[in-house]
Amino acid sequence: MKVFNTSQIRQCDQYTVENDEISSIELMEKAALACFEWIKSQFSANYTYYVFCGKGNNGGDGLAIARLLLEENYKVETFVIQSSSNFSTDAQINFDKYPDSVSFLENDDFEIQQENKKIVIIDALFGTGLNKPLEGNTQKIIQKLNHIKGKKISIDIPSGLFSDSLPSEDQTIFKADVTLSFQFYKRAFLHVESAQYAGKIFILDIGLNSKFIQDEETNNYIISSKSVSDNFKPRDPFSHKGNYGKVALIGGSYGKIGSISLSTRAALKIGAGIVFTIAPNCGYSILQTLAPEAMFISGGDEKLITEIKISTEKTTIGIGPGLGKEKLTKVALEELLKSIQTPAVLDADALNIISENKSMLNLIPKNSIITPHPVEFARLFGDSKDSLEQCELAREMAKKYNIIIVLKGHRTAVLTPEGKCYYNITGNAGMAKGGSGDILTGMITGLLAQGYSPQIAAQLGVYIHGKAGDYAAKKYSQEAMTAQDIIHRLPEVFLNIKK
């Protein structure tokens, strides 16, 4: 699914009006109707709806939503911000059609009866046409709304938030519980600094022109369930274990055998044919017990890995979880990287070792996948001012080193050597626990071994990992789920991938 910037969304809107049998006012009505249907499906008529509108098309959406609510006998109070600007053409039409009176807001002295607990505030003040940070009365109105208790819904985007950039710390922005946005994810929804204002995001299909969407180029995408099922390869009934690849997961050190055992179990459970674990000898009984399906190879020492004895020709390597950064381990990693010709997966301490010896970046086989969290990324490539800047730096580094970077976080981004960014929208805060990343490493390595291309293995891996996390949260709660539960919920993910 493509992510477009504001100007592309505007062009898409325009193209639809010019090429399809729909006028801009009809498109606005369609958008408003989609919001109204969503609201109706969630809230009863016992709520009072306070609809705040601007004078642009976002306000036009708000006025149309308010009318649709009134027509179904919902209790509605509508406010329009008074300003020197005129209504946009379509907002004016919806203002004229509004069957009740509206209150014009000169300042923030409006009243909302808060004793009535059942309040929905609809924010249709500013949408993608925001042209500068809010100030003066508009700022005061939003600050006041942010202090009122009630359910808060933003139409298209929280007012005060820009679609394509991140806010400064002192920017005033409406804080929504839910954002009902039209047709596309906006980039601001995918970065934590801005996404926190949008709450839960629902993308409503308003039927914008599909040819425009198909032809218009972008470098930013969402990993959709459709792309996952399109790329998914069901198992061949005539296959044998050799068809599903040989994996070697390398990591663990004294006290951190758990991490490599999580990676090992994840690789097994994602369908890899044969799995080896290379770990220090202290991990032998632990691994043979926790993952009896996997074979153990000694890493050369009781407590740390000092040698990596595996033929890398036909084995897919995943290295890093719990590895440690001892001198001998570092030497073993360097030797390994020099000997591999095929793409590998590098995580955690493998990346931390490289960040202390940056020339090793050039040893990473091309098309390998590295899976840093933001701090590991900064150690490797330097600091960034925010997550958007970090994502752009990752795009450059993926191109420079010809690797795939899986930049982990609330919305993990997969950056490719062609400069594309694929955001993952599955997953939840229950996964913000030690061990989740180790599982991702095992999953991506397992997928790579099964013959998925590195880019697809990374995309499928982050999607499936997040989806399994979502099933785990549903069953055990975000609080009580542990990283292992992500592995346990993989069956639901596979059983639900539409083939």
Ligand X SMILES: NC(=O)C1=CN([C@@H]2O[C@H](COP(=O)(O)OP(=O)(O)OC[C@H]3O[C@@H](n4cnc5c(N)ncnc54)[C@H](OP(=O)(O)O)[C@@H]3O)[C@@H](O)[C@H]2O)[C@@H](O)CC1
Cβ closer to ligand X: 126 or 276? 126
Q: Which residue is nearest to ligand ADP (CB)?
A: 437
Q: Return the number of other C-beta atoms located less than 10 Å from residue 273's C-beta.
A: 17
Size of the site for K ion (CB under 5 A): 4
Query: Min. distance of Cβ 351 from ligand ADP in angstroms?
Result: 10
User: Which parts of 392-431 interact with ligand X (CB under 6 A)?
Assistant: none
**Is there binding between residue 159 and K ion (CB under 5 A)?**
yes
**Is there binding between residue 432 and ligand ADP (CB under 6 A)?**
yes
Distance CA 282, CA 286 (A): 8
What backbone torsions phi and psi does residue 83 show, to the nearest 5 degrees? -155, 170
Which of 77, 438, 470, 485 lies at the binding interface for ligand ADP (CB under 6 A)? 438
369-400 CB burial, b ≥16 within 10 A, e <16: bbbbbbebbebbbeebeebbebbebbbebbee
Closest CA to 145 of 178, 180, 112: 112
Query: Min. distance of Cβ 47 from ligand X in angstroms?
Result: 22
461 is in an annotated binding site: no
129 is in an annotated binding site: yes
Distance CA 270, CA 350 (A): 22
Which of 59, 372, 409, 461 lies at the binding interface for ligand X (CB under 6 A)? 59
What's the distance, Cα to Cα, between the start and end of the chain in Å? 18
Largest Cα span, the chain = 80
Residue type for 22, please? I
Alpha-helix residue ranges (DSSP H) falling in 104-251: 136-147, 192-198, 210-215, 225-231
Which of 6, 94, 128, 154 lies at the binding interface for K ion (CB under 5 A)? 154
**Is there binding between residue 128 and ligand X (CB under 6 A)?**
yes
Where does this chain touch ligand ADP (CB under 6 A) — which range of 229-237, 354-362, 429-437, 450-458? 429-437
Where does this chain touch ligand X (CB under 6 A) — which range of 57-65, 146-154, 250-258, 271-279? 57-65
Give one word for 285, left, alpha or beta, with left for phi > 0 and alpha for psi -120 to 50.
Answer: alpha
409 is in an annotated binding site: yes
Query: Min. distance of Cβ 131 from ligand X in angstroms?
Result: 4
User: Which parts of 443-482 interact with ligand ADP (CB under 6 A)?
Assistant: 465
57 is in an annotated binding site: yes
Distance CA 214, CA 19 (A): 15
Cβ closer to K ion: 81 or 439? 81
Cβ closer to K ion: 78 or 154? 154
Cβ closer to K ion: 155 or 353? 155
Alpha-helix residue ranges (DSSP H) falling in 313-453: 327-339, 348-356, 374-381, 387-401, 436-449
Distance CA 288, CA 44 (A): 56
Query: Min. distance of Cβ 408 from ligand ADP in angstroms?
Result: 4
Distance CA 167, CA 334 (A): 41
**Is there binding between residue 329 and K ion (CB under 5 A)?**
no
110 CB-near residues (< 8 Å, 6+ apart):
79, 103, 141, 144
- Return the DSSP state at 409: S
User: Which parts of 230-259 interact with ligand X (CB under 6 A)?
Assistant: none
| Per-residue contact flags (x/-) with ligand ADP for residues 402 to 421, judged by CB under 6 A | ------xxx-x---------
Binding site for K ion (CB under 5 A): 123, 154-155, 159
Q: Which residues are at the interface with ligand X (CB under 6 A)?
A: 9, 13, 27-28, 31, 54-61, 85, 88, 126-132, 134, 138, 155-156, 182, 206, 208
- Return binding residues: 57-61, 123, 127-133, 156, 159, 322, 373, 408-412, 437-438
